Chain A
Amino acid sequence: MLELKNISFGVEDDGQEKEIIRDVSLTLPDNKLIVVTGPNGGGKSTLARIIAGIETPSSGQILLDGEDITHLSITERAKKGIGFAFQQPVRFKGLQVLDLIRLAAGKHLTVMDACSYLSKVGLCARDYINREVNSSLSGGELKRIEIATVLAKAPSLAIFDEPEAGIDLWSFQNLIEVFQRLREHIKDSSILIISHQERILNIADEIIVLRDGQLVRRGSRDEILPELIGTSAAIPACRVAEESEAM
């Protein structure tokens, strides 16, 4: 279980302090798939990065299973079970997909085991396992490999920052299935997805709405989703596809 207590985060903008996250407190219980949504610029990705340790909050406290992890490094949090899939996956010259999956698993996986993670994200493993994680891969391919690294890490809290960004409609359906399967095998872990995609909101146990850095709504899917339909917090899949094609 992860608890955020009074988390705030600010940045310098033109010499002025700008607050991105304002006094956010929330609890992410185990065995739940939680989606954080809200308008662009509302602080969703920043909140995810604060949990992973990539950003340091200006005030507040983060507890993982009761332990204060506010001042732990990214590495230490990863070792304690936090996994993070980047919105824009990183490219590496020379590192192969197999290397990355093995690093994620933290042990020497067989090629067959590593391939199984690629298959889970809808990639034909044989075609990808020895590819370099470089610019020869498309945005959608990289995104799926990114998700596969989080699956291989098997974290107790898996954070996915806008997994739909840059993925085409066909792959998107596959992605929903990946998250559904993750949800089915959630066992003592939890999943946090940053998304404004209606179909991802649709598989959430709980939905949290962030706006202007503040937590404005929180509740079960059935409670929150009807309020969001038609707003930018819940975009239908076809619009997501159009947006990603335009990227």
Chain B
Amino acid sequence: MTLLQTDDADAVRAAEPDRPARPRRTIGIGGWVGAALLAVVVLTALAGPLTSGDPLAQDFEAILRPPSAAHLFGTDELGRDVLVRVVFGGRTALAITLVSAVVASALGLSLALLGALYGGWVDALAGRLADVQLAVPSIVLAIVVLSFVGNSFVPIVAVLVLGSWVLTFRVIRGHARAVVRAQYVEAARVAGAGRFGVARRHLVPSVLPLLAVAFTINASSALLLESSLGYLGLGVQPPQPDWGQMVASGQAQIFTAPWIALFPGLAVVVTAVGLQLLGDGLAERFVGGPAVKRGLAQ
């Protein structure tokens, strides 16, 4: 190990000595399985509307029909095709999940970098904000906020962001503080680089792998929270399809028409597992261990 390092991965290892000698070069089988699951979900959601029907179309002559060739996932109490609704529900869930994970990651990254670069009261303020946020359970915060302001797209995304930005912040902040203190960064400063230059040339490239890992975990928790809100009737409102809401509406018929709740429930499981596996794979690739073991996820 040299004192002046230019390899970002080595900088990470220097900051956290219990890390294995070198990360793997691939995301592993689990990572690929996760990526494949996600690809299937995303492609289905994107391409489904081109081929399937109207998720709001009701057919009172075909209510509560079990899965068949005509309706692969069966129909619900209004005769709507459950497959079509699962596909369209996926568009809603993925859109909300993606937007909130991007915003949460951007917010967490920005605050973490600001804290690392400026230190002092900026870092302390960001840290306290994160502490306060962690003290409030996401689901409780979401229920309170959505009860007051209603449940359109923006408030839902806002509560999901509030519930997940802290993870990115904490992960990036610890790493960024270590990098800022690294001697090669000191050398850059001595050579005349300003804060912006350090951030652009050293910090951001250094935290990108971590950011990718944190993003998948953020997305996974956002998806689960969004589904929970839908289940509680606080998310996307009927008749627009939403996975959590569909599970809730099919719950009373779980013994007589299990397909109404089962398929949207499976969609949530598959997507969440896909995100988690991909997150673990990325963690293996860039950080050197599964996300849970590296303290990136709870």
Q: Do A and B bind each other?
A: no
Contact surface of A with B, Cβ cutoff 8 Å: none
- Residues of B at the A interface (CB closer than 8 Å) are none
